[in-house]
Amino acid sequence: MLASQLFEEAVKFLPLHVKTILITQEADSKENLVDFDFIIGTHALLYRELPECALVMVDEQHRFGTKQRALLSALVSKQAWHPHYLQFSATPIPRTLSMIQSSLVDFSFIKMLPFPKDITTKVIAKKDFKALVEHLRAEIAQKHQCIIVYPLVEESEMVNYQSIDEGRGFWEKNFEGVYVTYGKDKNKEEILKTFKEEGNLLISTTVVEVGISLPRLSTIVIVGAERLGLASLHQLRGRVSRNGLKGYCYLYTNIAKSERLEKFSRTLDGFEIAELDLAYRQGGDVVGGVIQSGKKLVWFEMANDEEILKEAKSRLEA
C-alpha cells in the first residue's frame, strides 16, 4: 500500500515525459523495465533484473532485514555505473545507528517536522481499561478515528494477551463502525480504504505501522507494547496526529513496571528513540554478518563507549 501511495504521488508531481511504473508482488508487471525512467516498488524489485540506474532510494529502511539489505548493497556496488544510494528512516534500528556512529555511512538528520505533533503517550494496564473505553468514545464522538493493535490474530498459549479473534467481540458489541484487518487478510487494502472514509475503530495488527494515511486518526492503543521494538512503537505512534490533530498513544502492558516503555513515552524524537533502542538492544554486526542487534564486540559497546569512538574517528581523520 505504501508503494502504491508513493506511485500515486510521483505520477501527480513528476513531468508527463517521465515514464513511471509500479512493481509489487501482487501486480507483477512483465514489461521491460528498461523502457521506464522511474521505477517504484516493494521488496519484489530486489528479485527482478533491473536496468542501469543513477539513483536508488529506500524508504522505511528499518523494515528491511539483513538479507534484503545485502541484496540492496549488491545492487548499488556491483554495477559499473555505481548509482547514488539514499536510505530513509524515522527510527534507525540499532545496527543502522551503529553504522552511522562509526562513520561507515554518511547521514543527514532532518529535525524539522512539517508541523508540530502533539501526542500524549501513556503506559496503561488492566486497571485503566474503563477509562480507555471512555476516551475512545469521546474521540469517536468528535468524528475522530481510533486503532487498537493486537499482538496476534488467533489465540495462543505462548502470548499472555488477547488476540484479535478474542478481543474483537467486545469492540463490535460496544462500538459502531468497527473494522478488522491483519497482515494475511487478502482484503486489507479495501478494508483500510473503507475505514478511512466510514470507520470509527480499527482492530488490527502491526500491519498498520505503514500504509494508508488516516488524517482523522487521533488515538492508537498498542496491546502488549513491551513485545515490540522501539522503532515499531514509534512508527505506530506516528500514525496519529498526522495533520496537527491532538494525538494519543496508549501502551497497554501486563508488566508492573517497564523502564523502557516509560522512557519511550517521554520523547517523540525518533533519533533519541533510536539511541535508546541501541542502548537496550546493542548494535549487532556492524560490518557484514546477519545479526541486527545484540552484543558482538567483546571489549567495546557502541551504545556506551562514545568517547572511544570519537577518539578512533579523530585518529583516522588525522
Number of domains comprising the chain: 1
**150 Cβ partners below 8 Å, 6+ apart?**
161, 162, 163, 164, 167, 203, 204, 205, 223, 224
Q: Is residue 248 part of a domain?
A: yes
Q: Is residue 105 part of a domain?
A: no
Please state the three-class secondary structure of 144-181 as a single string.
CEEEEECCCCCCCCCCCCCCHHHHHHHHHHHCCCEEEC
Q: What contacts 24+ positions apart, CB below 8 Å, involve 259-262?
A: 260/226, 260/230, 261/123, 261/225, 261/226, 262/123
Global pTM value: 0.72
Residue 224: give the domain boundaries. Answer: 119-267
Residue 34 in grid coordinates: 528498461
Q: Is residue 60 part of a domain?
A: no
CATH number at residue 246: 3.40.50.300
Least Cα distance to 252 among 138, 133, 139 occurs for 133
As a 3-state breakdown, the chain gives helix, strand, coil percent values, each rounded to 5, of 40, 15, 45
Q: Is residue 275 part of a domain?
A: no
Per-residue pLDDT of the chain (318 residues; tens, 9 = 90+): 677 878 888 888 889 899 988 887 755 567 788 889 998 888 778 877 778 888 888 887 766 766 777 777 777 776 677 788 888 876 665 556 666 656 666 777 777 776 778 999 999 999 999 999 999 999 999 999 999 999 999 988 888 999 999 999 999 999 999 999 998 888 988 999 999 999 999 999 998 887 678 999 999 999 999 999 888 899 899 999 888 889 999 999 999 899 999 999 999 887 788 778 777 765 444 444 444 455 444 445 555 556 766 777 677 676
